[in-house]
């Protein structure tokens, strides 16, 4: 269900349907619909982590492209958030979410399947790869927006932190296994084979969605008769007026600029600059992804001990500076800098995402959730193409390693943005917006 092979910052909620009453023993995995949602998401996350390694390797080893073109693939994947992000949020709030997600799964399956087919026929071009990245990114905009709104229909409000932690944890676990396997597949069978595996995971995701029993409440007739412009404006105004959502949106935009910058040239840094093999590059990325497992597993516990607001500050401000270790890497024992640096960054990002996702899903009015989520993501993810392009230009102009120093240095300072809002004054994030913001 997910198609993100990178770690980025993600930009509410009464339960309905069979998932509203739960047996607490055994947690959410005892619930059939959540288990199906979790299984499909985990399978697709696994495939997507293969793609995060396989797609750049296809460009580098099969098509012999430059550093800038590799970064351009990342930019193309995130560009749809700038083009259709805002109307997508309004459309998702008008439509039943599960059919939207099923259509996105089917489209993504066909797109990623087209790459190995074109390669086997000798017709693969960089234009084809860019088109797949762009169109799959478009499907991701709709899927991710619908998915974030659909989760609270499956999971009660009190269980949202557990649900988000389990989903983030399984995604991080997939990122441990996926990159290493992606590099190994690239060495043994060719990089395009990894994209075939990713295509099949979208089929697993769709089958899991079809098997779910949870049904959402139908959209009111009044909602269907309002204009898209008005609905988009409601979501943007809610985010702009809310002091918590506003600072989280700005923070996400700035930190994602740096995160995607180093991630978009990371494979080039490992394979081209340090000189490791594709298999070793995949193994190194897998090792850094262990930080995501640790971050997801500890986020809820840290929040309970420190308070959710303080835990968010700690995770974001301590994790990012670890990225400064990555440019110190060298062949042999020096590769440990990649692992330790990546572990710290990923752990902070994932733990922060668990806290922020649970906060947003509990905090936002349900009727606005899709538009609020996509309004934040429009800004958060809108900087990703720019970050990738900046990294590509820097890599070509001054070299990959100096570019890594500049970008990870900027990343280390991004947590300071959180000091500008009310989060620093509170122990916990609020569970509902101020009445003035809600009324606006």
- Measured CA to CA in angstroms, residue 431 lies from 47, 241, 302, 361, 381 at distances of 35, 16, 18, 9, 25
9-14 mean pLDDT: 45
Contact between 238 and 245 under an 8 Å Cβ cutoff? The reply is: yes
Long-range contacts of 138-141 (CB under 8 A, 24+ apart): 138/80, 138/84, 139/3, 139/104, 139/107, 139/108, 139/111, 140/3, 140/4, 140/77, 140/80, 140/104, 140/108, 141/80, 141/81, 141/84, 141/85, 141/88, 141/374
Express as a percent the part of the chain with pLDDT over 70. Answer: 85
60-68 mean pLDDT: 81
User: In whole angstroms, how large is the CA radius of gyration of the chain?
Assistant: 20
pLDDT of residue 440 exceeding 50, the answer is no
Q: What is the pLDDT of residues 362-375, one digit of tens each?
A: 888 777 776 787 78
> What pLDDT was estimated at residue 183?
67
Environment class of 307 (CB within 10 Å of its CB; exposed 0-12, middle 13-18, buried 19+): middle
Report the range of poorest mean pLDDT among 7-21, 51-65, 329-343.
7-21
What are the domain boundaries of the chain? 27-215+225-431
pLDDT of residue 11 exceeding 60, the answer is no
Res. 321 pLDDT band, cuts 50 70 90: very high
Report the range of poorest mean pLDDT among 20-24, 99-103, 274-278, 359-363.
20-24
12-37 mean pLDDT: 58
pLDDT of residue 176 exceeding 80, the answer is no
> What pLDDT was estimated at residue 375?
80
Is 105 or 358 the better-scoring residue by pLDDT?
A: 105
Is 232 or 124 the better-scoring residue by pLDDT?
A: 124
**Nearest partner of 219 among 81, 102, 369, judged by Cα:** 369
164-178 mean pLDDT: 67
Q: What is the pLDDT of residues 253-306, one digit of tens each?
A: 999 899 988 888 888 899 888 988 877 887 787 788 778 778 877 888 898 899
pLDDT of residue 407 exceeding 90, the answer is yes
Q: Whole-angstrom distance between the N-terminal and C-terminal Cα of the chain?
A: 34
> What pLDDT was estimated at residue 84?
82
Rounded Cα distance, 396 and 369, in Å: 41
Specify the CATH class of 27-215+225-431 in words: mainly alpha
Rounded Cα distance, 266 and 285, in Å: 9
Res. 439 pLDDT band, cuts 50 70 90: very low
> What pLDDT was estimated at residue 25?
52
Is 332 or 375 the better-scoring residue by pLDDT?
A: 332
pLDDT of residue 20 exceeding 90, the answer is no
> What pLDDT was estimated at residue 40?
83
Q: What is the DSSP letter of 270?
A: I
421 sits in the region (left: phi over 0; alpha: psi -120 to 50; else beta) called: beta
pTM score, whole prediction:
0.67
> What pLDDT was estimated at residue 181?
67
């Amino acid at each position: 269900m997910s198609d993100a092979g990178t770690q980025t910052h993600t930009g509410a909620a009464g339960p309905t349907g069979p998932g509203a009453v739960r047996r607490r023993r055994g947690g959410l995995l005892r619930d059939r619909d959540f288990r199906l949602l979790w299984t499909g998401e985990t399978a697709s996350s696994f495939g997507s982590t293969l793609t995060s390694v396989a797609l750049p390797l296809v460009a580098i080893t099969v098509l012999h492209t430059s550093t800038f073109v590799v970064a351009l693939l990342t930019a193309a994947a995130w560009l749809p958030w700038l083009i259709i992000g805002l109307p997508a949020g309004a459309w998702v709030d008008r439509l039943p979410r599960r059919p939207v997600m099923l259509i996105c799964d089917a489209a993504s399956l066909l797109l990623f399947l087209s790459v190995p087919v074109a390669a086997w026929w000798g017709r693969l071009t960089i234009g084809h790869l860019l088109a797949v990245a762009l169109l799959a990114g478009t499907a991701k905009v709709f899927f991710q927006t619908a998915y974030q709104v659909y989760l609270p229909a499956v999971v009660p409000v009190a269980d949202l932190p557990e649900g988000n932690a389990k989903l983030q944890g399984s995604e991080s676990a997939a990122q441990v296994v996926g990159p290493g396997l992606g590099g190994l597949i690239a060495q043994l069978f060719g990089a395009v084979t990894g994209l075939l595996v990713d295509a099949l995971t979208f089929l697993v995701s769709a089958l899991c969605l079809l098997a779910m029993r949870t049904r959402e409440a139908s959209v009111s007739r009044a909602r269907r008769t309002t204009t898209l412009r008005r609905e988009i404006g409601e979501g943007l105004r809610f985010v702009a007026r809310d002091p918590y959502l506003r600072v989280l949106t700005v923070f996400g935009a700035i930190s994602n600029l740096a995160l995607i910058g180093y991630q978009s040239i990371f494979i080039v840094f490992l394979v081209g600059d340090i000189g490791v093999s594709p298999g070793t590059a995949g193994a190194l990325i897998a090792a850094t992804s262990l930080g995501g497992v640790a971050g997801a597993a500890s986020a809820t516990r840290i929040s309970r001990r420190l308070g959710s607001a303080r835990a968010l500050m700690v995770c974001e401000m301590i994790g990012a500076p670890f990225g400064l270790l990555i440019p110190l890497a060298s062949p042999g024992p020096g590769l440990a800098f990649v692992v330790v640096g990546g572990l710290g960054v990923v752990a902070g990002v994932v733990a922060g995402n668990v806290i922020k996702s649970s906060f947003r899903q509990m905090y936002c009015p349900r009727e606005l959730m899709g538009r609020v989520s996509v309004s934040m993501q429009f800004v958060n993810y809108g900087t990703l193409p720019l970050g990738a392009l900046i990294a590509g230009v820097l890599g070509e102009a001054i070299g990959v390693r100096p570019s890594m120093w500049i970008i990870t240095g900027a990343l280390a300072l991004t947590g300071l943005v959180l000091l500008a809002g009310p989060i620093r004054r509170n122990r916990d994030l609020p569970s509902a917006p101020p009445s003035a913001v809600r009324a606006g």
